[in-house]
Amino acid sequence: MSEERKLAIICSKGSLDMAYPGLVLANAARMMGIEADLFFTFWGMDIITKDKVDHLKVVPVGNPAMHMPQFVGGLPGMTDMATTMMKKEIEKLDMPPVHEFLEMIHDAGCGIYACRMAADMMHLERENLVDEVDDIIGAMEFLERAEGAQLLFI
């Protein structure tokens, strides 16, 4: 494995199903000795916001992979049902809940960064974000950190 290999992942979506791909890949990278940074922006900020991280949802409406008519997905309780089901399946795979996952990858040496612009837009300060966040940085600073890295946008 090349020791210089680096991975930088931009997480821009805040639903439960979109939180995991970035976390899984960053963790896998660290497990095999690849440097990894996560950069959270826009709706992805929910993943690292203290009062949101434990309440991320899977939303059936607008998701064709749910294989159900749109109006059914919009019925009351459907979002909570889909969320509960996915959380159960995730647990079966030995995957931690999102906050514990953040803690694990942070302990594993993965950088966790919040987007300055998104934080300003959503009126979020450092104390609103989970402890694992290393810093709130601008897009240019992120690009500097990501120099030479393979970049993923989720």
Partner 1 sequence: MTTKELNVAVDAEGFMTDPSQWTPEIAEAMAAEEGIAPLNEKQWQVINWVRQEAASTGEFPSLRSISKRSGVDTKEIYELFPKGPAKKIARCAGYQKPKGCI
58 in Cβ contact with 15 (< 8 Å): yes
Find the binder of partner 1 among 81, 108, 117, 139 (CB under 8 A): 108
Among 54, 109, 134, 144, binds partner 1 (CB under 8 A): 109
Member of 30, 49, 53, 114 binding partner 1 (CB under 8 A)? 30
Report the nearest approach of partner 1 to the CB of residue 61 (Å): 28
Give the Cα separation of 60 and 112 in Å (integer): 28
Q: Under the phi-then-psi rule, with left for phi > 0, alpha for psi from -120 to 50, and beta for the rest, what region is 103?
A: alpha
Stretch 9-28: interaction string toward partner 1, x if CB under 8 A: ---------------x--xx
Q: Applying CB under 8 A, which residues contact partner 1?
A: 1, 3, 24, 27-28, 30-33, 93-96, 104, 107-109
